Amino acid sequence: MVSKSRLAGFVDAAIAVVMTVMLLEFHTPKSGLILDFLRENLVYMIAYLLSFIYVTTSWFNQQYMLASAERVTRKMYIATMLWVLNLSMLPVLAAWTGQTMNLFDAFGTHAPKAPALLFMLMIGLWGVSFVHMGHVYIHENPKAAAQLINEMNVLSYLRSRPYWGLFLLFFGLTTIYPFTALIWTGAEMGYAIYRSHNREK
């Protein structure tokens, strides 16, 4: 099975590709006016900044989880790849949401709902895959390492019922106002940063 360093290197490379693709989704207008740039990119710029925080915060916590583990097993490898798969969908859905929503047109109320709903669904799947990855890492490692992972603050709130209750509420609100998806992402990432204080070995 792969070593911890090889798995960490693969995750690092995947994260780098995801962030590069997100940056390439910006569209430059033909004119030199800032307003034209904002008209074409404002929502995607918001989505990009939130996604950047989302990716880097996810990476920070996954790296802590991997560093706390004493070994890498086949189950841990598969769980990590499922998490990376969810994360890799971020550039496509963030770009689709940003390109189909115009806050200059009735504050985006007429934007199609499918992109924002799929973006929210991806956030939910990421949460499920992160919790699953955490459980696998816990069960596949000795007690001391498992305890460090189990006490991760982000893993703790992602396993809580209030979190998923709020997620379902905002998912429902997104069917009414698509920009709610980005409001949820901003609030969740702010809370994730606040909770990303893990115990040292």
Q: At what angle do helices 34-68 and 113-139 cross, to 10 degrees?
A: 20
pLDDT digits (tens, 9 = 90+) for 72-97: 999 999 999 999 999 888 878 888 88
User: Dmax of the chain from CA atoms?
Assistant: 61
pLDDT for residue 177 is more than 90: yes
Q: Is residue 8 assigned to a domain?
A: yes
pLDDT for residue 110 is more than 90: no
Arithmetic mean of pLDDT, 3-10: 90
User: What sign for the dihedral angle of Cα 15, 16, 18, 23?
Assistant: positive
Identify the domain containing residue 188 by its residue range: 4-195
pLDDT number for residue 197: 72
What is the count of structural domains for the chain? 1
Query: Which pLDDT band, with edges at 50, 70 and 90, does 132 fall under?
Result: very high
Q: Whole-structure pTM over 0.75, yes or no? A: yes
Q: Is residue 200 assigned to a domain?
A: no
Q: Is residue 67 assigned to a domain?
A: yes
- Owner of token pair 């802590």: 64
Q: Is residue 149 assigned to a domain?
A: yes
Q: Is residue 10 assigned to a domain?
A: yes
pLDDT for residue 5 is more than 80: yes
Q: Please give the single-letter amino acid code of residue 146.
A: A
Query: With contact defined as beta carbons under 8 Å apart, do 177 and 114 qualify?
Result: no
Query: With contact defined as beta carbons under 8 Å apart, do 116 and 174 qualify?
Result: yes
pLDDT number for residue 48: 85
Query: Which pLDDT band, with edges at 50, 70 and 90, does 201 fall under?
Result: low
Question: In the structure, how many helices (H) and strands (E) does the chain have?
Answer: 9, 0
Q: Is residue 201 assigned to a domain?
A: no
pLDDT for residue 1 is more than 80: no
Q: Is residue 35 assigned to a domain?
A: yes
Arithmetic mean of pLDDT, 157-184: 94
